[in-house]
Amino acid sequence: MWDYSDKVKDHFLHPRNARVIEDANAVGDVGSIICGDALRLMLKIDPATSVITDAAFQTYGCGSAIASSSALTEMIKGKTLDEAQKITNQDIVDYLGGLPAEKMHCSVMGREALDAAVANFHGKTYEQSHDDGELVCHCFGVGINKIRKAVWENHLTTVEEVTNYTKAGGGCGSCHQRISEIIDEVWEDLEKCGVPRPGYQPTPIGGIKIAVSTGPSAAPAAAAGQSFDDETRGAPSFGKVTEVLREIDAGLGANGSGAALSSIRGDKVAVLLKGPAAEGMMREMTRLFVAQRLSDALGSKVEVEVA
Amino acid sequence: MDTENLGAGLGGIYLDNNATTMIAPEVVEAMRPYLETYYGNASSQHGFGVPVGHAMERAREQVADFVGAEHPDEIIFTSCATESDNTAIWSSLWTQGQRNEIVTTAVEHPAIMNTCAFLEAHGVKVHYLRPDHQGMLDESAFAALLSDKTALASVMWANNETGNIYPVERLSSIARERGVLFHSDAVQAAGKIPLDVKATDISMLSVSGHKIHAPKGIGFLYVRRGTRFIPFMKGGHQERGRRAGTENIAYIVGLGVACEMAKAHLGEMGTRVRALRDRLQQGLLSRIPECFVTGNEQCRTPNTLNIAFKFVEGEAILLMLNEYGIAASSGSACSSESLLPSHVMQAMGVPFSAAHGTIRFSLSRYTTQEEVDRTVEVLPGIIEQLRSYSPYWKGGKPQIAGQDHDFDPDSSEVRA
């Protein structure tokens, strides 16, 4: 996060033109405090020559937002409107010696502020002079045209890059599918203009579903609905014993182990074991564990044998 | 302004102890023999392994004593609290196949939140208890979420961003009454407030070493005796078959010493460090207009202070603080991987406009009054400077909606 170029740090710590121009004749506001960054660009434009004689800004935002604003004002001062409007967000980035990938939207915001100020100079609002188009990202209110422009000008190829440049897709993520469709559309046009799409491979239709079991399958050790003999079913401990064994069975289940009742003869209980819990040393440990649990549950000593 | 970055060890002021802490020199010293000399495997029966095994059991006793576990064998060493959290959640599901719901809160650490989100995508129902504006939880609302389908209730002991302390003693007994396993992520409570698990109905508890002056890469999970348990890491028989993998002995020894020291310094955390935190809070609130404390001031860990500065953005504040060699952290979107402010601030309903300007200061027992005073000295100037750049601020006052432009911090309008 602190990986800023010296130029960015310099423009953040010593911003140029961070002030109010009271008699500005072109003011552009973009961003909002809710989104975490906002920029007001103020210009004095000579109506006769269209030269930007003064430029200043006020910015609420992170270090790179303030640095991008500062850079923009330095870049456009003394230029005519036509010259200034040729500046792209990438020019701002280059002027600053680069921006971290996830901060590219700061340069885009700077470029938008210039558009907004120019619109204001011509007596229009930014909204009037710019058609946002279809609203793609509801979290950050980003329209399709802004995404198209960012992809077109910066040759973006991934949703992540689009988020870095426009914030679109940086919230709930529900528009990611739509953004990748837009990327594909823009690249169709870019390729027609002779720009090869780097490393493009069409996404195969349909996603891969990964099935992950979050718990043991409740596979009982013995066949469900197993019938017990009359003596077992008639034993006073029958209810408790089956309940405890069902619990143990569920607990054992993760690696294919299981335990179930076979029969009850007085204080002797025969159980069926399966899986690793029924093998080798585990067999005896499981038997002792079942005996302990049954004795605890019934309040009297229970002998357990593995059927 | 000094444009050189002052880092740790270069005279920097470290007020980010909820992120990680310096390793106590005593901890480094205690670890050294187990890095240089005693390299044996704790599981070996020969002369290389036996002393190592003893050192590990000594550490287990220190850790058990620190959290108030009745038996040292209730402590399982892990690689970090994230592993402990994952283990607790998965074990609760694996051991109770018929239960497939989890109850937790909307302010948990990502170790819990993202594990739950993953499980949700695979069929587990997760209930998130929402906090109030102070970040506090409603006990009856918690109780209402529990059912015979609940495999685990997991509530953090203290919150990392606000320092809010949650009543896990009472919440765990509510869970116990309903026959529900209770887990607590105690990473942010450990070393700051007394922990005594045996006096509670907590079944499992996660703690990380690097938040209590031990190194990163070591933590533990407390599992109360009698709690059904299936290991998360499968493999060898280490940790009595509950966590496979050769024990990280030097780090375990370090963790043991760190726990012993943390317990010995609890009194100091509650008095001297608390007083420093309060001094920082008073100093900032009295010198800086338009800021407020987030979280519950009456029920916080003694080292934590989270302040929202209106009309300025958190990352910019951090960058300027960094120029003075002061390290803190922010809940702002721009200082995180996501473009949204922290989920804790969102869950508490802190307005986005304020959440973007939240700064967390977290002190430690190594923090000095000079460091706090230096912070109080420089921060007002930083906030004033950044506000002077802000379009929401004019002439030392917030500039609210409807004047020359439509900037409204309270507006629900979202524009990009």
Is the sign of the CA dihedral B367, B370, B376, B379 positive or negative?
Answer: negative
Give yes or no: residues A144 and A257 share one domain: no
Residue A238 placed within a domain? yes
Burial classification of residue A6, based on how many CB atoms lie within 10 Å of its CB (0-12 exposed, 13-18 middle, 19 or more buried): exposed
Q: How far apart are CA B146 and CA B152, in angstroms?
A: 9
Level-2 CATH architecture, domain B25-264: 3-Layer(aba) Sandwich (3.40)
Amino acid at residue number B291? C
Q: Do A32 and B311 touch (CB under 8 A)?
A: no
Domain count, chain A: 3
Q: Which residue of B has its CA nearest to A215?
A: B94
Q: How far apart are CA A167 and CA A143, in angstroms?
A: 11
Residue A224 placed within a domain? no
Give yes or no: residues A163 and A60 share one domain: no
pLDDT tens figures, A129-181 = 677 788 888 888 888 988 998 898 889 999 999 998 888 888 888 899 999 99
**What ipTM does this complex have?**
0.83
Q: How far apart are CA B89 and CA B112, in angstroms?
A: 8
Q: What are the boundaries of each domain within chain B?
A: 13-21+266-392, 25-264
Mean pLDDT (whole number) for A81-98: 93
Mean pLDDT (whole number) for B214-229: 97
pLDDT tens figures, B358-409 = 999 999 999 999 999 999 999 999 999 999 999 888 877 777 543 333 333 3
Contact B199, B71 (CB under 8 A): no
Mean pLDDT (whole number) for B67-92: 98
CATH number for the domain running over B13-21+266-392: 3.90.1150.10
Give the three-state DSSP class for A55.
strand
Has residue A223 got a pLDDT over 60? no
Q: Report phi then psi at B226, rounded to 5.
A: 90, -5
Sort strands B150-154 and B182-185 into parallel, antiparallel or unpaired.
parallel
pLDDT grade for A226, boundaries at 50, 70 and 90? low
Residue A161 placed within a domain? yes
Q: Report phi then psi at B343, rounded to 5.
A: -65, -25
Residue reference for tokens 């207009």: B289
Fill in the DSSP letter of residue A18.
B
- What is the model's pLDDT at position A210? 52
Contact A3, A96 (CB under 8 A): no
Which of A25-39, A86-100, B120-134, B371-385 shows the lowest per-residue confidence on average (mean pLDDT)?
A25-39
Q: Do A59 and B340 touch (CB under 8 A)?
A: no
| Residue A289 or B294, more confident | B294
Nearest to B361 by CA among B318, B297, B313: B318
Q: Tell me the shortest Cα–Cα distance from A75 to chain B, in angstroms.
A: 19
Which residue out of B122, B389, B403, B408 would a mutagenesis test of the A interface target, given it has the greatest number of A Cβ atoms within 10 Å? B389
Buried b (16+ CB within 10 A) or exposed e, B348-387: bebbbbbbbbbbbbbbbbebeeebbeebbebbeebbebbb
- What is the model's pLDDT at position A212? 53
Residue A142 domain boundaries: 135-192
Fill in the DSSP letter of residue A116.
H
Give contacts of B323 with chain A, Cβ < 8 Å: 13
Question: Tell me, what CATH number does A163's domain have?
Answer: 1.10.10.1100
Can B13-21+266-392 and B25-264 be said to share one CATH topology?
no
List CB contacts of B406: < 8 A, sequence separation 6 or more. Answer: A29, B413
Which residue out of B148, B310, B323, B414 would a mutagenesis test of the A interface target, given it has the greatest number of A Cβ atoms within 10 Å? B414
Q: How many CB atoms lie within 10 A of CB A229?
A: 11
Give yes or no: residues A277 and A182 share one domain: no
Amino acid at residue number A20? V
Q: Do B124 and A214 touch (CB under 8 A)?
A: yes
Which of A139-143, A201-205, B36-40, B52-56 shows the lowest per-residue confidence on average (mean pLDDT)?
A201-205
A62 an active-site residue? no
H-helix or E-strand spanning residue B77: strand B75-78
Give first-to-last CA distance, chain A, whole Å. Answer: 64
In B177-253, the DSSP E strands lie at 182-185, 204-208, 219-223
Mean pLDDT across chain B: 91
Question: Tell me, what CATH number does A88's domain have?
Answer: 3.90.1010.10
pTM of the prediction? 0.78
Question: Tell me, what CATH number does A288's domain have?
Answer: 3.30.300.130
Give contacts of B346 with chain A, Cβ < 8 Å: none
pLDDT tens figures, A21-69 = 999 999 999 888 877 889 999 999 999 999 999 999 999 998 999 999 9
Residue A212 placed within a domain? no
Give yes or no: residues A274 and A176 share one domain: no
